[in-house]
Structure 1
Amino acid sequence: MAIGVAIIGSGNFAKEQHLPAVKATADLQLKAIYSRSLKSAQTLASGTSDVDLYSDDSGIGRSYADLLARPDIGAVLIGLPILVQPEFIKGALLAGKHVLSEKPIAKDVPTARELLQWYQTSVDPSKVTWAVGENFRYMTKFLFAAKKVCELGKVRHFRVNVHNLVKQDNKYYLTFWRKVPEYQGGFLLDGGVHMVAGLRLILGSTDHLTVVSAQTQQLQDYLPPVDTVDAVVQTKNGATGVISLSWGSDFNDNVFEFACEKGVVKMQFDTVTVNGVEHDIEFDGKGVVPEVAEFAKSIVNGLPVAKRQSPEEALADLEVLEQMLQSGKTHGDRMMLHFQV
């Protein structure tokens, strides 16, 4: 029997990813949509039948708390602005709903750790589960690259170069909470955790990052507080690498490259080259469909969330990005990493 689910938030990601993913998952049945305004909830629900709408301006009986009180809703997908997500996560878990919340896990490591500790002490994880979405861990090209790196043995050296320019007419920039960020890093936090997650996936859990040193800057005056970071990093096994990320650059790069004991793996956009042999990875989506399906399957089978959806993995992603930003503030001080898994 399908699990009743509600989508919390009606932004671009909900429209383009959450809603299609729920519709594609046989284990889920969309029951409700919540948004701050009824108008935005109606926009998301357009073309979808038998879905109840809730919002802050819908009157008595149509609040978020009212949605959580419904016994026919067993899970929620939360995709709200970074700063407000923790309170919605807590509310849903306390109401006995399984939660899949969007990355980043929180605005900073202290907030994330507090939320994770609260979850572990205030909720029974064997009955109510909390997963944090990171769709890059489900994208075919990243999974293929990770497999090939593993096959070629110990990683010795690596580089990640992801540069692009978020223009002022970009649909994500036009969301107010991103346009005027009240959290560290701006687009570097919002988008950078994806790249960190992709890197950590390919490196594997046996050789996690241990230390970072970085420089940051703001190339575009409309992308505060910083939009570019260049970091030198090292892994537990001694591999060194460079992570260069920018959402304010005139460059257009997307390269993950790994020098291993038995050769080189290079992922550039949708092409993965292994020891000189190119493999064009057909784009099959951004990974949200299999991510949501795995979340639903774990609920149906009464299992803990998959490791790649765990809050601990999301905390590890956030820590790397945050320590890069902190190092930039101190002009390149070495920052140790303590929460890698």
Structure 2
Amino acid sequence: MPIGIAIIGSGNFAKEQHLPAVKAAADLQLKAIYSRSLKSAQTLASGTSDVDLYSDDSGTGKSYDDLLARSDISAVIIGLPILTQPEFIKRALTAGKHVLSEKPIAKDVATARELLQWYQTSIDPIKTTWAVGENFRYMTKFLFAAEKVRGLGRVRHFRVNVHTLVQKDNKYYLTFWRKTPEYQGGFLLDGGVHMIAGLRLILGSTEHLTAVSAQTQQLKDYLPPVDTVDAVVQTKSGATGVVSLSWGSDFNDNCFEFACEKGVVTLHGDNVTVNGAQHYIEFDGKGVVPEVAEFASSIVNGRSVAKRQSPEEALADLEALEQMLQSGKTNGDRMMLHFQV
């Protein structure tokens, strides 16, 4: 029998990814939607049936806490602005609801560690699970590239180049909290954790990052506080790599390259090239459908969340990016990483 779930937040990602993923999950039944305004909740619910709506302006009995009080809702997916997430995560876990919250885990490492420590000391993780979504860990092309890299021996050198330009009419830029971010990195935080997650997935846990040194800058005046980072990074085994990320660039690139003991693997767009042999990986979604399905399965079967959904993995993504940003503030000082898994 499917378990009841609610979607918290009605932004672009909820419309395009969370709602379809919940509908596709055999183990889930959508019971409710919460949003700041009733209008936005209604917009997300359009085309669905038997879904109750909750919002801050819906009156008595329709608040977030009223939703959490329902015994027929066992889990929530939380996709709210970065600064808002921790409070909603805590309230849901305290109410005994399983939580899948969107990346990044928090606005900074300090907040993330505080939230994780609170969870580990205040909530029974066997009874109430907390997962953090990172859909790049479920995307076929990244999984395929990771498999091929593992088959070619130790990674010796690598480079990541992700450059794009967020235009002023971009649907994500038009969300008020992204236009004037009150958190570090702006789009580098919001989008950059995806790229760090992709890199960490391909490198694998035995080849985790240990140190970074970076320069940062703001190329576009409407993308504060910075929109570009160029970093040199090192792994546990001593392999080095260059990570260049920009959301304010006039370049357009998306490439992950790994030189291993027995050859080279390149992920460029939807193509994975292994020692010169190109494999086209047909796009099969952004990974949210299998991500939500795995979250649901862990609840139904009474298991802990999968490692790739663990808050510890999300903390590791955030730490790597945060230390790049901190290094940029100190003109390239070498920063050590302490929470990699």
Q: Does 1:163 align with 2:148?
A: no
Q: What one-letter code is carried by the residue in structure 2 that aligns with 1:4? A: G
Q: Does 1:152 align with 2:122?
A: no
- The DSSP-based 3-state class of the residue aligned with 2:86 is helix
Aligned to 1:22: 22
Aligned to 2:267: 267
Q: Please report how far the alpha carbon of residue 35 of structure 1 lies from its aligned counterpart in structure 2 after TM superposition.
A: 0.1
Q: Distance in 2 between matches of 1:303 and 1:40?
A: 34
- The DSSP-based 3-state class of the residue aligned with 1:34 is strand
Q: What one-letter code is carried by the residue in structure 1 that aligns with 2:4? A: G
- The DSSP-based 3-state class of the residue aligned with 2:48 is coil
Q: Does 1:119 align with 2:124?
A: no
- The DSSP-based 3-state class of the residue aligned with 1:185 is coil
Deviations 1:186-235 (A, max 9, x none): 00000000000000000000010000000000000000000000000000
| 1:186-225 matched pairs, under 5 angstroms | 186-225=186-225
Aligned to 1:82: 82
Percent identity of the aligned residues? 87
Aligned to 1:176: 176
- Unaligned runs of 5+ residues in structure 1 are none
Q: Distance in 2 between matches of 1:243 and 1:270?
A: 19
How many residues align structurally?
Answer: 341
Post-superposition, which runs of at least 4 consecutive aligned residues in structure 1 deviate over 2 A? none
Deviations 1:284-313 (A, max 9, x none): 000000000000000000000000000000
Q: Please report how far the alpha carbon of residue 275 of structure 1 lies from its aligned counterpart in structure 2 after TM superposition.
A: 0.2
Aligned to 1:331: 331
Q: What one-letter code is carried by the residue in structure 1 that aligns with 2:153? A: G
Aligned to 2:92: 92
Q: Distance in 1 between matches of 2:233 and 2:96?
A: 40
Q: Distance in 1 between matches of 2:323 and 2:44?
A: 36
Aligned to 2:292: 292
- The DSSP-based 3-state class of the residue aligned with 1:144 is helix
Deviations 1:83-132 (A, max 9, x none): 01000000000000000000000000000000000000000000000000
Instruction: Provide TM-score, normalisation by structure 2.
Output: 1.00
Q: Distance in 2 between matches of 1:331 and 1:281?
A: 39
Q: What one-letter code is carried by the residue in structure 2 that aligns with 1:96? A: G
Q: Please report how far the alpha carbon of residue 319 of structure 1 lies from its aligned counterpart in structure 2 after TM superposition.
A: 0.0
Q: Distance in 2 between matches of 1:99 and 1:89?
A: 7
Instruction: Provide TM-score, normalisation by structure 1.
Output: 1.00
Q: What one-letter code is carried by the residue in structure 2 that aligns with 1:17? A: Q
Q: What one-letter code is carried by the residue in structure 2 that aligns with 1:128? A: T
Aligned to 1:280: 280
- The DSSP-based 3-state class of the residue aligned with 1:317 is helix
Q: Distance in 1 between matches of 2:89 and 2:314?
A: 14
Aligned to 2:230: 230
Q: What one-letter code is carried by the residue in structure 2 that aligns with 1:227? A: D
Q: Distance in 1 between matches of 2:211 and 2:26?
A: 43
Q: Distance in 2 between matches of 1:155 and 1:238?
A: 9
Aligned to 1:134: 134
